[in-house]
Structure 1
Amino acid sequence: MNGEINLLTLLSLIVAIVAIVKLRSVLGRRSSDDEARIEQRRREAQMQKTAQAQADKVVALPRREREAEVADTSVSVAEVEARIKSFAGEDSALAARLMDILRLDTKFDPEQFLRGARQAYEMIVTAFAEGNRRMLRDLLSADVLDSFSRAIAEREQRGQVIDQSFVGINKADILEAEVSPKGIASVTVRFVSQLISATRDKAGNVIDGDEHRIKDVTDIWTFSRDISTKDARRNVNWKLVGTQAPN
């Protein structure tokens, strides 16, 4: 009796094992379609991970074009007129000429202009010292660019270089403003800045300036821009059209 039970139990176990092995062989086998789907899911997961990593590095840019135009209209002409009168102080002639610019260009603001002029001044002074004609081309009128380029070429022919550090602008004031009959706006600014500047010869010896001393510099520059028509006013860039030494 015990022998029969043992034999039956053994046979049952054998049958169960065979069934399990066959079932595993069927369930465990991957077709080529299965492999393709798995690989596709793996690629998609990797792409999502990469996209997320890139998204984390994205830096939002300032609003431009249409959004900027809407933002610009938030300041009314009346507010700018009040700013101009306050800006000019007792100089009624300067206030009147700045108002002439505002009448043609309703987005003109003397304070914003001065901020841009300060940036342009530093860029131009630095570009001239470095001999960067490409940058100067975007900031100077044709006549001034020609004058600056000749000075750079003469310096290069002599084998001289300028070592310069721009310390900062202490003060920037609007001295004059006008609009020509052709609608060309011009604004003259006096800059008081500080530089560390030294000119070296071919051998590297300092022949002008002082590489260890901060020098106070005063420049009077005139910037110009065409505001005669709506199309002209689309170009908001002012260019340096003249320089003069202080009295």
Structure 2
Amino acid sequence: MQFFDIVLFALIAIFLVLRLRGVLGSRDGHEGGYNDRFKSDPAKGEKAQNQSDNVIDLPGARTADVDMLSDSAFEQKVKPEEPLPEGPVGDGIRAIREFDPQFNPKEFVGGASMAFEMILNAYADGDTKILKNLLSPEVFAGFEQAIAKRNAEGQTLQETLVGISKCEIVEAYMDGRDANVTVKIVSEQISALMDSDGSVIEGDPAKVVDTTDFWTFARSTKSRNPNWTLVGTGTLD
């Protein structure tokens, strides 16, 4: 009986070994290494190297490297600020910046030049809708009255802005919480006022005239609206 038990246990052991081998398989030294996800695959590295050989760097493009982790990578690149003019103009700009730190004279001059062209064109076309959004109520009333008078008499205004040769801030100040900036705009224009028959009443449709205007813009620093409105106009006689 003991011999029979030993043979029986041996048969059971052989059966279990064969069963496990059929399920798990066996290694004969030719299968290659295990797929270790914490270890780099040399084959993949070679493949990546071959792919990088076919990459063409675009002009201005830079690949990421260790230097991007340095402290300098996190420093904000800010262009050096242009010096403010001396005298009352510089003092006025500094006063405006106390209430509006984002005020940028250079950007303001660019915006004033664009507004100058838009307002001239809108006035010549009689477009009161555009003018109402760009002018203060007092200035708009004067523009609207002039347009109405022109239309009533059948007159047409031909206005062409040839170009702006200079636009600079000549005055800046705070009036309470309202920022006021006056710019001097030197431009070349062609202007002619025609009657209903097309005859020239004023100006010359074929002559370029140098014109100097002084326009004052204002905005409330308490308002979230960043737009400026035209609050005064004048010309150099």
Map 1:1-247; keep pairs closer than 5 Å: 75=78, 79-80=80-81, 83=82, 86-88=83-85, 91-181=86-176, 183-227=177-221, 229=222, 232=223, 234-246=224-236
User: What's the secondary structure of 1:163's corresponding residue?
Assistant: strand
CA contact (8 A) 2:186 2:211 kept: yes
Give SS of 1:108's match. Answer: coil
Q: 1:217 to 1:197 in 2, by over 3 A?
A: same
Could you tell me how far 1:152 is from its partner in structure 2?
Answer: 0.6
The DSSP-based 3-state class of the residue aligned with 1:99 is: helix
Runs of 4+ in 1 over 6 A off after TM superposition: none
Structure (1 or 2) with the greater helix fraction: 1
Structure 1 length as normaliser, TM-score? 0.62
Q: Identity over aligned residues, as a percent?
A: 40
Question: Which consecutive unaligned segments of at least 5 residues does structure 1 have?
Answer: 1-72
Bigger Cα Rg: 2
What is the Cα deviation at residue 164 of structure 1?
2.0
- The runs of 5 or more residues in structure 2 that have no matched partner are 1-75
The superposition leaves residues 187-219 of structure 1 with CA deviations (integer Å, 9 ceiling, x where unpaired) of 011111111111110111112111111111111
TM-score by length of 2: 0.65
Inter-partner Cα distance in structure 2 for 1:87 and 1:169: 22
